[in-house]
Structure 1
Amino acid sequence: MRWRELWRTRWRHLRKRLAHWMTGKSELERACSGRVYDAKMRLRVFAALEQSAELHPLLEELVGKSERPPPSPASASIDWDEVAERVLARKHDARTPLRPAAREHVACGLREWREWQLACRQVQQWTRTPFDADNAAHGQALERLWSLLLPGVARYGGRRTKAWTMLGFQGSDPATDFRSMGVFALYQLVYFAESRTMVAQRIVREAGGIDTAADTETPYHYPFALVGIHLSEWVARLLLQARCFERHWLGLAHDDILQRLHDVYSDTFTLFHIAWRSAPSRSLMEFPDMFRAFCAQIERHIRAGVLLSAPRPSRPAKEGEASAASPRQKVQAGGG
């Protein structure tokens, strides 16, 4: 695989140099050569910015050098025309004329690139932030998860208690399970429970081995929280490594990108539960293979341009059931 990647990299570099020699324009200028800033141009400009080593220092100034994004990213305070001028000063060949709309297209691409980076870096920050029992925001988010999914159920024994296994954690301390994905997994579980409370409560019951309709035990049980943590790892990979969502979400504000990522997580969780219970018979021995196959199938759909939506309950939530919070409330439950 490494030699293939090396060959692709070298071939792409050669192709760029050849195109530059033939047209007298950089890759970014060629990407902006159209008259209309459409979806195709958006992706080409984004790719040109991402792959330009020369522009890397300048682009880093737009998002900050620290891993943690600013608490209130103020895109409006940035003079995008001035930044576009700086970019074109590095990428434009003065011997060739510059299209009048190119500067505007570059400015649009820079704004969208920054919003995308802010969303990606927020996810990276969450995955690298371990659950901290002494952090009040982390503790409140965990308690919120319990109260949403098991309303009216008392939990005895403090924070460390075997009662957490009712939500599908492995032992008495959920912090142990969150080690792989940090507070990102916790925030996604809370988002799912807040935005789809009725669905999440039913899944917890049925995943725990109880048939909601008949109130009897079933063979379809699985650890709810652990599945959620694995799904968080999956959606983070799709965003940060597989880059499955750029063609769908590029151009959105970073808060909207995060909300849509959480919605993909929530819908995938619901669809997985439906698929698991639709089979004639299931055992935990089959679970890993079925889970991997299901996630691979959903990823293929996403790559093909289909973002699936899980069914939602039709009736409004009753009093005591949480309603969906705003995107910022959902995804910024405590920052770590």
Structure 2
Amino acid sequence: MLFNPLACVSRLLKWIFSTVSVFLNNISRPFVKWLLRKTTGLCELQRICYCEPNGAPRIHGIEKSLRNSKSVKVKTLLQYLDRAAIENRFSTPVSAAKIISNTVQTICSIKNIRLDVHQPFTKLFGDSVSIIWGYCQLMHDLEKLKGTRYDAENQEHELKLLELWDHLMPERKLESRVSNSWKNIGFQGDDPKTDFRGMGLLGLDNLSFFAHNYPDVARQVLSHSNHPKHGYSFAIVGINLTHLAYSMWKDGSAKTHVYNLCSQQQQGSSPSLLHFHRFYCYLFVEFDKLWMNEKPASIMEFGRIRSQFEKSIRLFLFQRNCLFKLNIPIEHV
């Protein structure tokens, strides 16, 4: 590889600019926060709650403010919330309400916020905390599903797999549990269990949700995947899209969509597995549309099209008002 001095200089300048920006921000941020507190009489969390639009802008702002706090008391509070998410304590309404109430009271004590004067803060901040740590809890659940290997000896796993066939191929009975027929819905071999290695039970759960809740759409997408010229492996691509969805939730890219979605629902409901499944279904339908529009000459173009698809999704997720909605109608080919 030839040495490119211009490229090296460019990378060095970017590093210097990034380092200086971070340094200046670390120096100026405390002063700016102090100045705004003195002039407005509101702490940073209050300003975010009152001034930022409902949804991702507000929730992202609150999350960033809490995570960047230098306060030992705030850091201790965050450890408490993180532990609650790990222990799945946001799952029950009573437990979640108690955690949120304690969090609001603790923050008001730390920030000297009078609840009798700033009553709206309680709900705005509390709903945001519920969504932020509900997302954290859900990520732990997704990790468990991803790490759970498909077990052919587990009757629940086997039943879910067989139901997947029934939903996708209702007019055709499966010949046997291990059969070449599985290739008709896009698995690689005679036994689908080997295809779930990468994403574990999460891959099967996604496929099952899509086929069970949107059977007509799933079967139409399956027919596209069996196109004689532009087909692809339905199940394998589905598992690959599980990986894409999981990656976007893991690295936080999907938070914009999730935060906007949850904040629009009644009482700022926490993220749930249902939200992840629906996000996955959206990806599958949109990927199928792109694939059929591209009309690839062979499956060898999968890498290019997937990369193009991921880029477009991530660009949309970068927008503050991003909200994916599943468009059910699918064109026939």
Q: By how many angstroms is 1:179 displaced?
A: 1.8
Write the mapping of 1:38-117 to structure 2, written as runs, cut at 5 A: 38-39=54-55, 40-52=57-69, 54=72, 55-62=74-81, 64=83, 67=86, 69-70=88-89, 72-75=91-94, 77-78=97-98, 80-90=100-110, 92=111, 100-101=118-119, 102-117=121-136
Question: Which residue does the alignment assign to 2:162?
Answer: 143
Identity of aligned residues (%): 20
Write the mapping of 1:110-125 to structure 2, written as runs, cut at 5 A: 110-125=129-144
Question: Which residue does the alignment assign to 1:288?
Answer: 303
Higher alpha-carbon deviation: 220-229 or 118-127: 118-127
Q: Please give the secondary structure, in 1, of the residue aligned with 2:327.
A: coil
Q: For the structure 1 residues 15 and 235, does the alpha-carbon distance in structure 2 shift closer, same or farther, using more than 3 Å as the test?
A: farther
Q: Given the alignment of the two structures, is residue 240 of structure 1 paired with residue 240 of structure 2, yes or no?
A: no
| Structure 2 counterpart of 1:173, one-letter code | D
Equivalent residue in structure 2 for 1:263, among 278, 287, 290: 278
CA distance in 1, matches of 2:21, 2:239: 34
Please say if residues 28 and 48 of structure 1, whose CA atoms lie closer than 8 Å, have aligned partners that are also in contact. Answer: yes
Q: By how many angstroms is 1:187 displaced?
A: 1.0
| Structure 1 counterpart of 2:181, one-letter code | A
CA distance in 2, matches of 1:297, 1:135: 39
CA distance in 2, matches of 1:280, 1:309: 22
Please say if residues 116 and 253 of structure 1, whose CA atoms lie closer than 8 Å, have aligned partners that are also in contact. Answer: no
Q: State TM-score, norm by structure 1.
A: 0.74
Please say if residues 85 and 136 of structure 2, whose CA atoms lie closer than 8 Å, have aligned partners that are also in contact. Answer: no
| Structure 2 counterpart of 1:195, one-letter code | N
Q: Given the alignment of the two structures, is residue 174 of structure 1 paired with residue 192 of structure 2, yes or no?
A: yes
Q: By how many angstroms is 1:137 displaced?
A: 2.4
Please say if residues 180 and 189 of structure 2, whose CA atoms lie closer than 8 Å, have aligned partners that are also in contact. Answer: yes
Question: Which residue does the alignment assign to 1:254?
Answer: 270
Please say if residues 156 and 163 of structure 1, whose CA atoms lie closer than 8 Å, have aligned partners that are also in contact. Answer: yes
Q: By how many angstroms is 1:122 displaced?
A: 2.4
Q: By how many angstroms is 1:303 displaced?
A: 2.9
| Structure 2 counterpart of 1:163, one-letter code | S
CA distance in 2, matches of 1:154, 1:137: 20
Q: By how many angstroms is 1:231 displaced?
A: 1.0
Q: Please give the secondary structure, in 2, of the residue aligned with 1:220.
A: coil
- Give the paired residue count: 301
Q: By how many angstroms is 1:110 displaced?
A: 2.4
Q: By how many angstroms is 1:36 displaced?
A: 8.8
Q: Please give the secondary structure, in 1, of the residue aligned with 2:141.
A: helix
| Structure 1 counterpart of 2:276, one-letter code | L
CA distance in 2, matches of 1:133, 1:98: 58
CA distance in 2, matches of 1:118, 1:271: 27
Equivalent residue in structure 2 for 1:189, among 180, 201, 207: 207
Consecutive unaligned residues in structure 1, runs of 5 or more: 210-217, 315-336
Please say if residues 164 and 173 of structure 1, whose CA atoms lie closer than 8 Å, have aligned partners that are also in contact. Answer: yes
Question: Which residue does the alignment assign to 1:13?
Answer: 26
